């Protein structure tokens, strides 16, 4: 995973036309609702939102070390070499730990279905395999969403911040959050204002769990030996005492 | 014993309640499986885990902790005088886990795929570990419980086989229990920015384990009291007082860890904010830790059957509050929505709990759960282990 693909979204270039929203629906064959979705749902893998005149998108961040893939008990999520975090729907049993744990609140569930699955942006993995770019970046008329190698997009983002002083907050959202993501954001207003979680650690969140989980094999061996040891010692002492008592009785 | 058994067809108040709970439960079950989770629960993308995880899973597994606590005491430490309540405790634990599994079948979106955990492994996932532990520990409990059934059937050979396996079984049970009791807390380790600071902590697995152990003790006291009321059997006062002591020590250690944890993370500055979390936290701390510790420190209460019974009820209530606080109260602020379970979630939970009680009472009536009491403890010398361990009982 030396250089995965990524998306760079520049809020200063977004005009709120929702071309990405509709292209995404079409590409993923999602139903059109009478009223456009305003939050991520199982029928909208991306939405365009507005705050104080700033338009911005919400979509799966495609983390470098995804929390969803770490928590899933049946490995239904996978971070691919090329960047996208994909979902193996045949495996999913519907525990919803991914929805509960995702720091960006991305995965959604088919609550109304009797055979529900988790739904989220796939970073157009299928299109990428065909050599195409994501539907949202292809549809974007202003270049607010662009597709490319993560390293190059990071350089591009840094260049934009440096060359346009005052136009951006000095922060590439997604560069380091929760171990870094494959979707990067630039904005003219602080990300906190746009409702992005800004209290995330820079390490992958799965490290927090792994610190404990990795000790389990040791724990099992040590406590197994320890408990058997206690049992054996007490048992042996009881036998010895009983024998002593018996020999005393004989005397 | 026989005199207490009533005709099974006589409608009493509690049977009436049970029937109403069952009818509502059946309706809710039909809606759950024909219309899906959206129609039957108040869960949403913002609040994907509700009552079934918070109560049925977190509380259910915790309340069954008496099973491994007592099995360790009896088999590993050879304290055979606790034997009289071993069987009812194992039965409660076994039923508890079966109930948890039933609840999961309602909660999982596609429960017919629950076996996927056996073939698709993800050792990074806490839930994977919890799932495996619950699966294996339920098997261990079934095996620990099986001699009772064999005895009832009059099968001596299989009973002996199990008996020869009992030590490895108990050890496996203890390891599996400590693992998943603590792992239910570890489930939340990955959500530092979501769980309210009263409850999020890097030591949450240890806190979950300690509180499960304490509530395991409380459940043993509670069950002893119930079995006395129903069947006239109970533990001798000195045994109960011993359990009370262990519980006191556990709760004090828990409190110290919690205080240390609060200091380490600078939580003291927010403990009196006027928020719902604050009230529910203090209620939990008061009912589950502070009051029981004070009561258990008073000799007179610790040495009275009734006093211990009230302490047990307090601790159990506090424990339930704690788990619900972690699963619901502590997650609300970050989710941005308010969650309260639907009547169907509540009624399915009630159905599972009520059925558990029902099966327990059936089992105690027909299986040798209590009658057995004296037998084994008399056949081996019960005081021997104590002499050797030099465990002093209460002053006589």
B255 band by pLDDT with thresholds 50, 70 and 90:
very high
- In this structure, the answer to whether residues A25 and A55 fall within a common structural domain is yes
Are A206 and B124 an interchain contact pair (Cβ–Cβ within 8 Å)?
yes
- In this structure, the answer to whether residues A222 and A206 fall within a common structural domain is no
Secondary structure in 3-state letters for chain A? CCCCEEEEEECCCCCCCCHHHHHHHHHCCCCCCCCCCCCCECCECCEEEEECCEEEEECCCCECCCHHHHHCCCCCEEECCCCCEEECCCCCCCCCHHHHHCCCCCCEECCCCCCCCEECCCCCHHHHHCCCCCHHHHHCCCCCEEEEEHHHHHHHHHHHHHHCCCCCCCCCECCCHHHCECEEEECCCCCCCCCCCCCCCCCCCHHHHHHHHCCHHHHHHHHHHHHHHHHHHHHHHHHHHHHHHHHHHHC
Are B37 and A109 an interchain contact pair (Cβ–Cβ within 8 Å)?
yes
Q: Which structural domain, as residue segments, surrounds residue A223?
A: 215-250
pLDDT of residue B233: 65
Averaged pLDDT for residues A117-130: 95
Are B190 and A208 an interchain contact pair (Cβ–Cβ within 8 Å)?
yes
Q: What is the pLDDT of residues B199-238, one digit of tens each?
A: 999 999 999 999 999 999 999 888 888 777 766 666 678 8
- Closest residue of chain A to B117, computed from CA coordinates: A74
- In this structure, the answer to whether residues A59 and A75 fall within a common structural domain is yes
Are A99 and B48 an interchain contact pair (Cβ–Cβ within 8 Å)?
yes
Chain B environment of A96 (Cβ under 8 Å)? 48-49, 109
Are A73 and B125 an interchain contact pair (Cβ–Cβ within 8 Å)?
yes
Chain B environment of A103 (Cβ under 8 Å)? 191, 193-194
H-helix segments, chain B:
13-35, 37-40, 51, 60-63, 66-71, 86-107, 116-119, 126-153, 156-186, 204-231, 237-265, 276-285, 291-297, 299-302, 305-324, 330-335, 343-366, 374-379, 382-389
Which residue has better confidence, B108 or B381?
B108
- Closest residue of chain B to A113, computed from CA coordinates: B36
- In this structure, the answer to whether residues A131 and A104 fall within a common structural domain is yes
Chain A environment of B43 (Cβ under 8 Å)? 111
pLDDT of residue B342: 96
Distance from the Cα of B349 to chain A's closest Cα (Å) equals: 17
Whether the pLDDT of residue B333 is over 50: the answer is: yes
- In this structure, the answer to whether residues A103 and A198 fall within a common structural domain is yes
Q: What is the pLDDT of residues B91-140, one digit of tens each?
A: 989 999 999 999 999 999 999 999 999 999 999 999 999 999 999 999 99
Give first-to-last CA distance, chain A, whole Å.
80
Chain B environment of A197 (Cβ under 8 Å)? 193
* pTM for this prediction: 0.89
Distance (Å, whole) CA B386 – CA B396:
15
Are A99 and B193 an interchain contact pair (Cβ–Cβ within 8 Å)?
no
pLDDT of residue B384: 52
Distance (Å, whole) CA B339 – CA B308:
35
B245 band by pLDDT with thresholds 50, 70 and 90:
very high
- In this structure, the answer to whether residues A129 and A244 fall within a common structural domain is no
**Interface with chain A: mutation pick from B69, B120, B265, highest number of A CBs within 10 Å:** B120
> Could you tell me the CATH number of the domain that includes residue A182?
3.30.70.20
- Closest residue of chain B to A74, computed from CA coordinates: B120
- In this structure, the answer to whether residues A131 and A231 fall within a common structural domain is no
Q: How many beta carbons lie within 10 A of that of residue B243, not counting itself? A: 25
Whether the pLDDT of residue B382 is over 60: the answer is: no
| pLDDT, mean over chain B | 87
- pLDDT above 70: percentage of residues in chain A: 99
Averaged pLDDT for residues B81-87: 80
- In this structure, the answer to whether residues A200 and A179 fall within a common structural domain is yes
**Interface with chain A: mutation pick from B30, B48, B78, B114, highest number of A CBs within 10 Å:** B48
Distance (Å, whole) CA B28 – CA B338:
22
Chain A environment of B381 (Cβ under 8 Å)? 242
Are B120 and A230 an interchain contact pair (Cβ–Cβ within 8 Å)?
no
Residues composing chain A: 251
| B48 and chain A in contact, CB less than 8 A | yes
Whether the pLDDT of residue B358 is over 60: the answer is: yes
Chain B environment of A110 (Cβ under 8 Å)? 36, 109
- In this structure, the answer to whether residues A17 and A88 fall within a common structural domain is yes
Of B116, B120, B127, Cβ closest to residue A97: B127
Are B36 and A111 an interchain contact pair (Cβ–Cβ within 8 Å)?
yes
- In this structure, the answer to whether residues A114 and A170 fall within a common structural domain is yes
The total number of structural domains in chain A stands at: 2
Which residue has better confidence, B382 or A205?
A205
Distance from the Cα of A145 to chain B's closest Cα (Å) equals: 26
- In this structure, the answer to whether residues A38 and A151 fall within a common structural domain is yes
Distance from the Cα of B5 to chain A's closest Cα (Å) equals: 40
- In this structure, the answer to whether residues A181 and A242 fall within a common structural domain is no
Placement of tokens 């240890």 in the chain? B206
pLDDT of residue A2: 59
Are A234 and B78 an interchain contact pair (Cβ–Cβ within 8 Å)?
yes
| pLDDT, mean over chain A | 93
Of B123, B190, B387, Cβ closest to residue A71: B190
B180 bridge partner residues: none
């Amino acid at each position: 995973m030396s250089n995965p693909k990524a998306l760079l979204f520049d809020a200063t270039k977004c005009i709120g036309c929702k071309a990405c929203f509709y292209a995404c629906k079409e590409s993923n064959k999602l139903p059109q609702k009478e009223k456009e979705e305003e939050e991520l749902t199982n029928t909208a893998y991306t939405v365009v939102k507005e705050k104080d005149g700033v338009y911005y998108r919400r979509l799966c961040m495609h983390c470098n070390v995804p929390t969803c893939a770490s928590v899933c008990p049946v490995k239904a999520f996978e971070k691919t070499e090329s960047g996208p975090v994909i979902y193996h729907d045949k495996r999913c049993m519907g525990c919803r730990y991914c929805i509960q744990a995702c720091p960006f609140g991305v995965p959604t569930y088919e609550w109304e279905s009797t055979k529900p699955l988790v739904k989220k942006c796939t970073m157009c993995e299928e299109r990428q395999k065909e050599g195409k770019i994501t539907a949202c970046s292809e549809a974007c008329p202003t270049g607010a969403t662009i597709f490319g190698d993560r390293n190059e997009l990071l350089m591009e983002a840094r260049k934009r911040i440096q060359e346009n002083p005052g136009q951006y907050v000095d922060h590439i959202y997604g560069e380091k959050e929760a171990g870094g993501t494959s979707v990067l954001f630039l904005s003219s207003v602080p990300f906190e204002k746009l409702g992005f979680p800004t209290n995330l650690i820079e390490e992958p969140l799965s490290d927090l769990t792994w610190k404990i989980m990795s000790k389990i094999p040791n724990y099992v061996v040590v406590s197994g030996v320890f408990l058997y040891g206690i049992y054996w010692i007490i048992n042996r002492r009881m036998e010895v005492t009983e024998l002593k008592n018996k020999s005393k009785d004989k005397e | 014993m026989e005199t207490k058994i009533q005709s099974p067809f006589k409608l009493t108040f509690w049977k009436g309640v049970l029937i109403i709970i069952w009818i509502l439960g059946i309706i809710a079950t039909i809606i759950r499986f024909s219309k899906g989770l959206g129609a039957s629960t108040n869960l949403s993308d913002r609040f994907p885990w509700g009552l079934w995880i918070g109560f049925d899973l977190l509380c259910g597994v915790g309340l069954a902790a008496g099973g491994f606590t007592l099995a360790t005491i009896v088999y590993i430490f050879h304290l055979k005088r606790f034997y009289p309540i071993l069987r009812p405790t194992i039965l409660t634990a076994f039923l508890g886990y079966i109930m948890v599994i039933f609840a999961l079948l309602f909660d999982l979106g596609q429960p017919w795929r629950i076996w996927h955990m056996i073939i698709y492994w993800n050792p990074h996932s806490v839930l994977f570990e919890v799932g495996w532990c619950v699966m294996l520990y339920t098997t261990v409990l079934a095996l620990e419980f099986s001699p009772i059934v064999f005895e009832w059937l009059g099968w001596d050979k299989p009973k002996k086989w199990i008996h020869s396996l009992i030590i490895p079984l108990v050890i496996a049970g203890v390891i599996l229990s400590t693992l998943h009791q603590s792992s239910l807390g570890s489930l939340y380790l990955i959500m530092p920015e979501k769980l309210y600071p009263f409850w999020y902590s890097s030591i949450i697995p240890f806190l979950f384990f300690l509180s499960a152990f304490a509530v395991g003790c409380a459940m043993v006291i509670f069950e002893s009291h119930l079995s006395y009321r129903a069947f006239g059997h109970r533990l001798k006062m000195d045994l109960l007082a011993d359990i009370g002591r262990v519980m006191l020590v556990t709760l004090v250690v828990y409190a110290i860890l919690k205080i240390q944890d609060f200091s380490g993370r600078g939580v003291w500055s927010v403990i009196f904010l006027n928020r719902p979390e604050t009230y529910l936290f203090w209620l939990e701390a008061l009912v589950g830790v502070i009051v029981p510790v004070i009561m258990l420190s008073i000799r007179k209460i610790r040495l009275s059957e009734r006093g211990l019974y009230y302490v047990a009820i307090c601790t159990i209530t506090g424990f339930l509050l704690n788990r619900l606080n972690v699963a619901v109260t502590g997650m609300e602020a970050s989710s941005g929505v308010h969650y309260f379970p639907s009547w169907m979630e509540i009624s399915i939970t009630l159905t599972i709990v009520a059925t558990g009680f029902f099966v327990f009472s059936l089992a105690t009536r027909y299986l040798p759960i209590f009658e057995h009491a004296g037998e084994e403890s008399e056949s081996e010398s019960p005081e021997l282990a104590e002499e050797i361990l030099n465990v002093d009982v209460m002053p006589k």
